[in-house]
Amino acid sequence: MKVLVTGGLGFIGSHTVVELQNKGFEVVIIDDLSNSSEEVLNGIVAITGKKPEFEKLDLKEKSKVEDFFKKHTDISGVIHFAASKAVGESVEKPLLYYENNISTLVYILKELSKKDKASFIFSSSCTVYGQADKMPITEDAPVKTAESPYGNTKQIGEEIISETCKVTPTLNAIALRYFNPMGAHPSAEIGELPIGVPQNLVPFITQTGIGMRKELSVFGGDYPTTDGTCIRDYIHVVDLAKAHVIALQRLLEEKNNANYEVFNLGTGTGSSVLEAIKSFEKVSGKKLNYKIVDRRPGDITAAYASTDKANNVLGWKAASTLDEAMKSAWDWEQKIRK
């Protein structure tokens, strides 16, 4: 079975390629290398011993997408990661986000709609819920007005897929709403490679721990939570990757209940920023330099997943704890800074 992974050299994409190969899938990667490097292929080979096919391609070029699918007629499934994902950047450059995240999705769906049967996994995000009213967050929680163009592209993406599936019975799709991905493969051969100053908490923590950053700014200590800092559901990227393979197999084996389904991917446990810091200090044995500063605009107070649907319907459950995920992030940071 040949599977296309777009954005397959990125953080979650590369970990998913490894898990696909572990399950015997033949993988083709498309990546435009705008936020990744071809070096990641070596990391994948170091883990699985199998080199995926790779094509550097900008999915915004419609004719290139058409040519790709003409060349690869035997693709049975697509896992679509390729998108811009920096919340702050999306506020400054909305059109870049709408063009890159929406037009590419449309071009891929147009190609898949031509096939006798197609399975499609979409990389979505808990950001579609905004600040949910109830915790843990279930899949039927209302989708709220997005806090950023990035979040809006995920909401629009889900609508595009849902409406396309309604009129395309041969297209079967699953949207996976990630909570907060973190960590790295236990081999430390692949992991998160933020370009420039990390926007996300965990890479900023490990870069501070290794001495690349002077101190971590904790954005807000006055939230209505146990310790005043925001709560998130931090999920190990390998757990997340495994969920993608299970979701794809669900479609390929026609076990889906409808031709468009949505699943939250989280651990079901919320952790505060200070608890994440404590986890780092525990697994690294190092004291972390941090300072509590003003809140970051657009941040929500709390988000953690209800895992019932993923556990009972999808048949997947996150295996790693926050400490295990944090240890893998720290091992990776130490490896790449050697």
- CA–CA dist 221, 223 (Å, integer): 6
DSSP lists the bridge partners of residue 124 as 177
**Position 322 contacts ligand WQD (CB under 6 A):** no
**Position 199 contacts ligand WQD (CB under 6 A):** yes
Per-residue interface string for the shown chain with ligand WQD, residues 40-79, x marking contact by CB under 6 A:
----------------------------------------
Q: Closest approach of Cβ 230 to ligand WQD, in Å?
A: 3
Instruction: Point out the catalytic residue in the list 150, 223, 234, 304.
Output: 150
Residues ≥6 apart with Cβ < 8 Å to 112: 78, 118, 120, 171
Q: Which of 25, 53, 9 is nearest to 247 (CA)?
A: 25
Nearer to ligand WQD, 119 or 229 (CB): 229
Residues ≥6 apart with Cβ < 8 Å to 169: 259
Q: Closest approach of Cβ 199 to ligand WQD, in Å?
A: 5
Nearer to ligand WQD, 53 or 222 (CB): 222
Nearer to ligand WQD, 55 or 299 (CB): 299
Return the residue nearest ligand WQD (CB atom).
230
Angle at CA 178, nearest 5°, toward 123 and 99? 40
- CA–CA dist 305, 265 (Å, integer): 7
Nearer to ligand WQD, 66 or 299 (CB): 299
- b vs e for 145-154, b when ≥16 Cβ sit within 10 Å of the residue's Cβ? ebbbbbbbbb
Q: Tell which one of 36, 100, 101, 125 touches ligand WQD (CB under 6 A).
A: 125
Per-residue interface string for the shown chain with ligand WQD, residues 217-256, x marking contact by CB under 6 A:
xxx----------x-x------------------------
150 is known as an active-site residue: yes
Of 100-108, 161-169, 213-221, 327-335: span binding ligand WQD (CB under 6 A):
213-221
Nearer to ligand WQD, 16 or 21 (CB): 16
The answer to whether 251 and 1 have CB atoms below 8 angstroms apart is no
Of 72-80, 161-169, 199-207, 256-264: span binding ligand WQD (CB under 6 A):
199-207
Q: Closest approach of Cβ 137 to ligand WQD, in Å?
A: 13
Q: Tell which one of 15, 80, 85, 185 touches ligand WQD (CB under 6 A).
A: 85
SS3 category, 112: helix
- CA–CA dist 14, 237 (Å, integer): 10
| Count of residues in contact with ligand WQD, rule CB under 6 A | 18
- CA–CA dist 276, 205 (Å, integer): 9
**Position 213 contacts ligand WQD (CB under 6 A):** no
DSSP lists the bridge partners of residue 263 as 176
The answer to whether 18 and 44 have CB atoms below 8 angstroms apart is yes
Nearer to ligand WQD, 153 or 307 (CB): 153
Strands 290-293 and 234-236: unpaired
Residue 141: DSSP 8-state: S
Residues with a known catalytic role = 150
Residues near ligand WQD (CB under 6 A)? 85, 87, 125, 127, 180, 199-201, 204, 216-219, 230, 232, 273, 296, 299
